Structure 1
Amino acid sequence: LAPSARAAAELAHATGQRTDTLAKWLHDRSDPRGPGTGAANRSAWTRLDDRTVLMVDEASMASTLDLDLLINVAGAHATKVVLVGDPAQIGVINGPGGMLATLHQGGHGIELATIHRFTHEWERRASVALRDGNPEVLATYQAAGRLHPCPDAEQGLDEVFTRWAAARADGRDALMMARTRTDVDALNTRARNAAHPGEAVGVTGVRIGERDWAAGDLLRARRNDRRLTIGDTHVRNGDRFRVLGAGPTGGLVVEDLGGRGRLELPAAYVARHADYGWAATIDAAQGATTDIGVVLVRPGLDREHLYVAMTRGREENHAYITPDRTTDPEHHGPRAPESADRLPPVEAALDILAAALANSGAQDSAHTAREAARARAEEQARADARTADVNAADVNGAGVHAEAARTSRRTRAVEIPQDHLDTSARLADGQARMGQLRESEHGIREQLHAAQAELEQLPRWSRGRRRDLVATLAGHRSAMGAIFDERVGLNSEIEVLSRLERQQTRARAVPAAREDSYEPAERLRASLTRSTGRLAWPRPVELAPPSAQADQYRARHHARDAYTFRDRDDDLGLGR
């Protein structure tokens, strides 16, 4: 199985086995039509048992949702699933992804280190460094004459086409690539103008949809259609054809470049799902192999797309780098380095490529994102602790003791309300329950690993025990899921209670802090009152007795407090 029809076709060619897309296989397995045409064939193709091995090629492009469904189906029948792919390549286009990378990082994979595609040994080693995002490899590509700075996008497009045309003139297969459809259309336009120099296409060809077609044009299909059969397969997304002419029903008669034969593509399909096929987006080129790969690089390209683009050619791979940023409104890549506008051409090109290697566009699975967030939180907590230690060291001993005395006095000054006690009790119960869930999860995980290890060691003829172990594994996974769901809800509740407790603690400290705030004023008044007898005339006006005036001030202040916000933020997201 493979995520795309093109990848499935490549897999069939390499293995000689029947292949299909992952989505189609899952659909056939759950097909509600029942008996009928092809029902027996579908049933045999999707039947699973403990002797079946399901292999998914290009698994980095497989949606996590599809993989989850596949694993559950396979696990119910003790079927082995093997995921094959490169986590460093472009991932899922639409939908959640990142599962292959997560499994690989967790040590669950076997890595094949020998590379067979490239003609030159140095390029095999360089491709590994490119995959790892090592910027030092750029010097190797530059020394080999593979990196070509261009002053602007127009010259970059021209030079990409020139390199491609020269390779085709030498009889070698070549592929032009770009990140955006805008650039791909520009490259296709250059190739078509060269294929039909001075030709009035609207007269000698046929116009279908928004494009003119003539004999000799290259066409790329952009949609799978099992109704359009060719050879023993069908038209697939990414297939390339050569146009032979207009068809009898208004479509195009085309010849498959892979040698599968000819067919007529209906006009409706050509209008909606066909592009010129001389150039391709980097996403569409993933999985393709050619003699010479040529790519236009703009600022904002990420590591995965650069790696794929620079590893399509067996003999040569060339990058033409322009400082012009993309004009495609649908492109949302990382920001380009601003230094690229101020450097000489060669240095600017290297800077753009280094920025691409430093920016990963790969998706993270939920597990990876959670661990990354946890690591960031722990690092932030350590940094905050270090900052607090430094600040505490700067405070002199007298200040520390004075602050401790004030804190103690404020805490004692206000009685703990019952709602605060209830919040603290609920928080303690939640934290205790979280500890129990962690212990339960640890125990179930150990049992799951033990059952999995036993299942892997069982001989094939122990089918009864296999069924029991499969049921046990399913039960353990279900229990793990229930624990996870409860932990998610409990964690949210603990966070809310923690915020509420902090808010209540601050609310208790405010009255005591206000009592302390009156003391400096009273001491000042007392000092002034005592000193007036020693001052020369005219003396200051005698102040009222400190205690009486302080009582009046407190009464007015407390009356006003009933209508005053004490805090701008109540720590529950309800502040102004």
Structure 2
Amino acid sequence: MTVSIARLSTDAGVSYLLKTTSHADVETRDITGYYTDASNPPGQWLGAGLPGIEMSTHATVTDAAAKALFERGEHPTTGASLGRTPNQATTVTGRNGQPARRAAVAGFDLTFSVPKSISVLWALGSDAYKDKIMAAHHTALEATLAWLETSAIHTRAGHGGVAHVSVHGAIAAAFDHWESRSGDPQLHTHVVISNRAQRVSDGAWTTLDSRTLYKATVAASQHYNGLLYDQLGRDLGTEAEVRIPTSTIHNFSFELAGVDDELIREFSSRSRIIDIEAARLIHDWSETHGREPSNAVKLKLRQQATLSTRTAKNHDIIPLNTRTRQWRERAQARGFDPEAVLAATINRSHTRPLTSSDTDAVWITSTAGLVKDLVARRRATWNRWNLIAEAERVCLEIRCATPADRLSLMDAIATAAEEQSVALNEFRYSIPTTTAPDLTFNGRSVFDLASAHLFTDVSTLTNEEAIMNAHTHDAGPHLNQTTVQEALQQFISRRGEALQGEQRRAAEAVLASGRRLDAIVGPAGTGKTTTMSAVKALWEAHFGTGTVVGLAPAAASADVLGRELELATDNVSKWLYESTGPGAAIRAGQYIHAAERYQAACQSPRLDNQARKAMERLAQRLSALTSTQSKWQLRRHQLVIIDEASMVSTYQLAALLDQASSAGAKVLLVGDPAQLDAIDAGGVLGWLDRTGCAQRLTTVWRFTNDWERAASLKLRKGDFDVIADYDAHERISSGTYDAMVDDAYNHWDADIRTGQTSILIAPDNDTVAMLNERAQADRVGTGAVDAEATVGLSDGLHAGQGDTILARRNDRHILDDTGDFIRNGTLITVSGSPNPDGSIDGIRQDNGARILLGASYLAESVELGYATTAHRSQGITVDTGHTLVSEGRLTRELFYVSMTRGKAGNHAYISEPDPRDHHGVDSSTLPDWREILGGVLSVEGAEHAAHEVHEEQQNQANSLSRLLAEHDYLAQIAASDDVTHLISTHSPELVTVMRESASWGAMVAAWGRTAVIDRNLAGQALADGLRPADGARDVAADVQSSLQALQRRRRSEETLGTVPASVPTNRDDLQELLSDVQQRITKRMAEVAVHALANEEPWMGVLRSQTGLQANDGTWKPLVRDVAGFRDRWDIDNPELPLGSMPASADWNHSDQRARLEARITAAHDSTPTTTSPEPTARRQSPVPVVGPSL
């Protein structure tokens, strides 16, 4: 991704960027300094919000101005505070257990990095070409920033940020850098967007909505790419092309035509720096010893080079003209003349770029269909950002005449794709065109964010409905329940394991059910395989051998399933390919062709001997084709077990269920939705689980330690407290990346050497390659691996006898000596030296079979197999697991999978930012290991089914929590207008000072609530507080305190369960929206009450016990209505406690409403003759003063 995003703290701010740039506090530099200074160029101001701080676009960023804005939140010139003062840094436990400070967010670093081929062209070009490429980069990033300003950069207001409010634009400082940590050319710009922005509605300073900005980053990255290639095409005549990877484990790339892949690799990674240092060490060794070193020695020297090149980023910047000379020399040394590279790249294109008028509605609609289909293939639901990103990818080879043309084209395609999609939520409010800025954002209500509009596809909904219908279908094959119960009591697995209680119950529910579809869900280590083996055994005992079919999402996992359950298995994609997909279609065509020839022969009046033989061969062919097709067809009374079902896409499950239904078979899904999800649109297994349609296994058996069994379940749920559990048992290590790589490797290696099975899990492929290379070098050193005769692998490394290698592609033509084929994920030990043709002999580690791998397969689809990624670790069980964690690399699901592989122990090694890489930054402001793990647990990667998302969206859109927050926001505007008018009338000199007070929002909220109770008393409290300020007194805070005291005294006069009132307003737009919201609140209150009284939920039984009331008691229904409304208002989902648990921090209204309901519950109990002791309600906490919405 060419655009990334990161938060910056107020303590660190942009210090690390300013550190390596020229400063312009004194004078403006000459343009030649760009090439000759030992620093990066000074930053420049960007953004439409610059007038708010009296700065101009492209003006130089000075140290003083940047620190004032980003670190102190102040106007760079006047020193005035831009809104509230940044929150004081909080103290947490930091590195080595020492206290550390966490600062407020100063801004967001959007880093724009050009594709590697463009960096290479820039590095090798003359100063004139450098300027043009840099200008194209700046044009693209500024157009992208302007686009984000109109669609993503805004602020939020109201409770929970319910309203999306326009700002005048971003205030950003852009810093150009041109090299990577290792000194390779890497042209990139840090665009640091201030977390301060000025509201359009009233000019007030506030903070940005970071959630929308983060969601827009991928689309921004794709948009920037398109704009950059457009600009280079216009300015330099370049062409871009898709590069097909040489290895099956790499992705396609898009680079400039004329810049060779080998040249890109020269400047692309740290491995090249290691190569250079290794070559130097080998040369020195040869000079010293007078001979060429052996391969084993070379590997040791390469390991030495790897360690010696681990350095922090060089902060003594080398002048660009010096770097250019070095880069050109490196290119020449690799056989690439810089001038020839330029000549091959520049002025290639003679195609006229596209304008918005060149496309018609037919093309837009057609392209939008492609975009929608591609997104629907990968996602169950999507938003506009997803469509724009996909539109840019689809149109990657299309060049546009101007940035406006590209934006218009992408918008048109995305809009058309939305129209071809099915909306899952709606824009709830219609507003007139004259609506004021405080009520509208991008042409819609502030409560209706366009990018939050979610979509799905008709095919997704149809497939999900088919799956759920199969679960409710009760005419499928099944066994007698009594027979099943007796057999399960006697069942013993191949491993000698009897079924435990919940395993028996799950197996019984599946076997005795007539449903076409059943599911078993269980966390890692709960005995899903044991339960499946019982189901398989009883099913075949009743319906016959071979009536159970095993499927899994990958060939390797299908192979494991087959060995564990002793049945024929395959992967889902292969089954669908052969049963109803292209495989079946090819056979059908062959059958038709052979049948036509056979029929023609039969109609011949005379058949000689040769013709009869031909007919026999055709008959044999027809028989073989039907026999082959029959192998891939389901039959009546069969059971299809799909293991790791969360990784199977929705359309695949629907297709399999369709086959099963037609054949009279049954499907059983087994897996864990909290583990890895489907690559394509999925979420069905989680949906079945959350709707109570799956049998659950909850008892963990895998781990040796009891505490780890409980901890794994907390980890699965994303419970942050689990971090302390693993830390207390010394399962977490932390430090720099290099230190953690060493630590994880050493512990894994020690376990292997003591005879334990162990897995080493890395966060990315580069780290996997580094660990693989290190493991190989160590084994060469002990003589376990022969490095003298090797073969090349797809990861750029080599393998010799004794090495462990990993296959990365299924190939059914490569068979072992048992007739089994090679699978993606198969580990193999190289058993001999390479053969003359470059092939190698190996022994599979899963079944012990011998196998021959050819040179081409090795070069394209095999890598060293000592370390692995989390994605490839699911389904593996070993003695110990060692997992490396880097910030932003893992989701909760990936971390959970990684930390549940080892039976005896699972260890995490957390890579913290190295302070040496952030010179000038207070190390305490960098994220520590707890913060990094917290971030991992907070990122849920599992997808939800479209039906489930639709229901969630409907509930959220119409909940009292949201509606009352919307009402509060509108009432706050009305109250602000009202109280401002009163203050202007009585004490106009106090208006400005009070509005600038940090207590203004809270005071307005208090005024609005108090004025609707008793406007006269509220007005008196306001008048009493409007005495002249003495300089030290905060008038707004004093008035707030008086109003809240009055509000507490009169609060009991309000009735719960009524629509809140608001102060009057003379604004038509505001009154119209207020009335709409109030009507929705009235409707929702009625719906909540009806639902609660019609459905006996668990909390109602507790409430009945607490009060002693019965359904026919006159006070029961009003109490249930108000408790149900309270639960909906405060998002309480605890099924047992009527009022939920008291939150650690609740606003005054929450505390007050809870207290009043508790009093009613107590009163009802005291007045009801009963012997039932009430269950204790949660302890009341002291009310916390309400903080009004930040206006």
Q: Normalising by structure 1, what TM-score?
A: 0.63
CA distance in 2 between counterparts of 1:271 and 1:402 reads: 75
Report the equivalent of 1:116: 701
8 Å contact kept, 1:292–1:316? yes
Aligned to 1:163: 747
Please list, as runs of the form range in 1=range in 2, the aligned pairs for 1:138-149 lying within 5 A after superposition. Answer: 138-149=723-734
Equivalent residue in structure 2 for 1:378, among 950, 958, 962? 958
The corresponding residue for 2:942 is 362
Q: CA 1:42–1:122 in 2, change beyond 3 Å: closer, same or farther? A: farther
Deviates more, 1:362-371 or 1:211-220: 362-371
- Segment drifting more, 114-123 vs 203-212: 203-212
Q: SS of the residue aligned with 1:84? A: strand
Shift in CA distance, 377/141, structure 1 to aligned 2, threshold 3 Å: same
Could you tell me the percent identity over the aligned residues?
Answer: 32
* Distance (Å, rounded) in 1 between the aligned partners of 2:877 and 2:663: 36
Aligned residue for 2:907?
Answer: 318
Picking from 550, 567, 570, the partner of 1:17 is 567
2:874 matched to 1:286? yes
User: For residues 931 and 553 of structure 2, what CA distance do their matches in structure 1 show?
Assistant: 34
- After superposition, what is the alpha-carbon deviation per residue over 1:431-467, rounded to whole angstroms, capped at 9, x for unaligned? xxxxxxxxxxxxxxxxxxxxxxxxxxxxxxxxxxxxx
Cα offset, 1:202, TM superposition: 6.6
Q: Residue 174 of structure 1 aligns with which residue?
A: 758
C-alpha displacement at 1:382, in angstroms? 3.8
- Given candidates 175, 187, 192, the residue that maps to 2:776 is 192
Secondary structure of the residue aligned to 2:852 is strand
Segment of structure 1 superposing worse, 58-67 or 41-50: 41-50
The residue identity in structure 2 corresponding to 1:214 is G
Structure with the larger helix share: 1
Answer whether contact 1:243 1:255 (CA < 8 A) is retained: yes
Q: How big is each residue's C-alpha offset from its partner over 1:507-529, in whole Å with a ceiling of 9 and x where there is no partner?
A: xxxxxxxxxxxxxxxxxxxxxxx
Counterpart among 640, 655, 669 of residue 54 in structure 1? 640
Q: Structure 2: which amino acid aligns with 1:372? A: E
Deviates more, 1:278-287 or 1:64-73: 64-73
Q: Distance in 1 between matches of 2:1066 and 2:709?
A: 68
Which residue does the alignment assign to 2:797?
211
CA contact (8 A) 1:50 1:77 kept: yes
1:4 lines up with 2:554 in the alignment: yes
Contact 1:340 1:351 (8 Å CA) reproduced? no
CA shift, 1:16, in A, is 0.4
What is the DSSP-based 3-state SS (H/G/I as helix, E as strand, rest coil) of the residue aligned with 2:696? coil
Q: Which amino acid aligns with 1:237?
A: N
CA RMSD of aligned residues (A): 3.0
Q: SS in structure 2 opposite 1:342?
A: helix
Q: Deviation at 1:74?
A: 2.1
Q: Which residue of structure 1 lines up, in the alignment, with residue 1179 of structure 2?
A: none
Summarize the alignment of residues 34-433 of structure 1 with structure 2, pairs less than 5 Å apart.
Answer: 34=588, 36=621, 39=625, 42-93=628-679, 95-150=680-735, 152-197=736-781, 203-207=788-792, 210-230=796-816, 231-244=818-831, 245-300=833-888, 301-324=890-913, 342=924, 348-379=928-959, 380-391=962-973, 395=978, 400=1064
Contact map agreement 1:247 1:264 (CA 8 A) in 2: no
Q: Write the distance in 1 (CA, Å) between the matches of 2:777 and 2:743.
A: 15
The change in CA–CA distance for 1:391 and 1:402 in structure 2 (over 3 A counts) is: closer
1: distance between equivalents of 2:929 and 2:860? 37
What is the deviation of 1:49? Answer: 4.0
Residues 340 and 349 in structure 1, CA contact (< 8 A), matched pair in contact too: no
**What is the SS of the residue equivalent to 1:119?**
coil
One-letter code aligned to 1:236: R
Distance 1:400 1:161 in 2: 69
**Cα-to-partner distance string for 1:198-217 (whole Å, 9 max, x where unaligned):** 99977433345632111111
CA contact (8 A) 1:340 1:352 kept: no
Is the contact between residue 28 and residue 42 of structure 1 (CA under 8 Å) also seen in structure 2?
Answer: no
Return the alpha-carbon distance in structure 2 between the equivalents of residues 99 and 168 of structure 1. 39
- d(CA) in 2 for partners of 1:185, 1:212: 11
Structure-2 separation of matches of 1:206 and 1:269: 11
With the length of structure 2 as denominator, give the TM-score of the two structures. 0.31
Indicate how the Cα distance of structure 1 residues 254 and 392 shifts in structure 2: closer, same or farther if over 3 A, else same.
same
Task: Provide the C-alpha distance between the structure 2 equivalents of 1:154 and 1:403, rounded to a whole number of angstroms.
Answer: 62
**1-side partners of 2:760 and 2:579: how far apart?**
39
Instruction: Supply the distance in 1 between the matched residues of 2:922 and 2:696 (Cα, whole angstroms).
Output: 36
Give, as a single letter, the amino acid of the residue that structure 1 aligns with 2:659: V
Superimposed CA distance per residue, residues 146-201 of structure 1 (whole angstroms, 9 cap, x where no aligned partner): 11112x11111111110011001111111110121011111111101111129997
| More off after superposition, 113-122 vs 34-43 | 34-43
Q: Give the number of the structure with larger relative contact order, counting CA–CA contacts within 8 Å between residues 6 or more apart.
A: 1
The whole-number CA distance in structure 2 between the counterparts of 1:350 and 1:403 is 49
Change beyond 3 A, Cα 1:374–1:342 = farther
SS of structure 2 residue aligned to 1:292: strand
Q: CA 1:160 to 1:115, structure 2 compared with 1: closer, same or farther past 3 Å?
A: same
Q: Is the 8 A contact 2:912 2:929 kept in 1?
A: yes
Q: 1:90 to 1:123 in 2, by over 3 A?
A: same
Q: Are the structure 2 counterparts of residues 371 and 258 from structure 1 closer, same or farther at C-alpha, using a change threshold of 3 Å?
A: same
Q: CA deviation at 1:42?
A: 3.9
Which shifted more, 33-42 or 70-79?
A: 33-42
Contact 1:323 1:340 (C-alpha < 8 Å) held by counterparts? no
* Further displaced range: 31-40 or 235-244: 31-40
The residue that corresponds to 1:523 in the other structure is: none
Distance 1:17 1:403 in 2: 73
Instruction: Work out the CA distance in 2 between the residues paired with 1:228 and 1:340.
Output: 56
Q: Which amino acid aligns with 1:258?
A: D
CA distance in 1 between counterparts of 2:936 and 2:707 reads 21
